[in-house]
Amino acid sequence: MNWGSYLGAIVGGLVIFFVFDVLLMKAQGLSLFVK
């Protein structure tokens, strides 16, 4: 069981997805962060 790659993939995946979350919201004229 290669837990290193598992956790690495989770962290890496979360980072990539989060970046796209922000970008895609911006593309729609909205912001991911709402006060």
Partner 1 sequence: MSFLLRRSGLKGRAAAMLIAGMLLVLPLFLQPSSNPVSKVLSVSAAYAEQAADAKVEGKEGEKDGKPKFMAAPKLKEGDYPYFKTNILGLEVTPRILAWLIAQLHLWFAAFVLAVPIFVLLIEAIGIVTKNDKYDDMAHEFIKVSMTAFSITSITGGVLAMVLFNYYPDFMKYLMSIFGDTMIIYAMLFFGESGCLYIYYYGWDRMRYGTSKWVHLSLGMLLNAFGMTILFISNAWTTFMMAPSGVDGMGAFTGNIWEAIRGPLWNPINLHRFIANIAYGGSIVGAYAAYKFLAAQSKEERAHYDWMGYTSNFIAIAGLLPLPFAGYWLTAEMYAYSQQVGITLMGGLFAWLFIVQAVLIGSLFLAANYYLWCGMGRSEKPNPYFKYVKYIAFAVVVSFLVWFTPHTLIMTAKEAKIIGSHHPVVGVLGVMSAKNTAVNILIIATYLSFMLYRRGDRVPTVGWAKTGDMLQAGLLTAACINILWLGIYGYLIPANVRIGLSIPQVFTTLLFIILSVIIDGKMYKGAKAGSVIEWGKMPARSQYALFLLAVSFTWLMGLMGFCRSGIRQHWHVYTVMRDNSPDAFTPTLPYAASVVSVGTVIFMALVIFIFWLAQFSAKKQKHEAHGH
What is the closest distance, in whole angstroms, from the C-beta atom of residue 35 to partner 1 in the complex? 10
Sequence-distant (6+) residues with CB within 8 A of 20 are none
What is the closest distance, in whole angstroms, from the C-beta atom of residue 9 to partner 1 in the complex? 2
Please state, in angstroms and rounded to a whole number, the distance separating the CA atoms of residues 6 and 12. 10
- x/- mask, partner 1, residues 14-33, rule CB under 8 A, reads x-xxx-xx--xx-xxxxxx-
- What tokens were used for 5? 């790659």
Instruction: List residues near partner 1 by CB under 8 A.
Output: 1-3, 5-14, 16-18, 20-21, 24-25, 27-32, 34
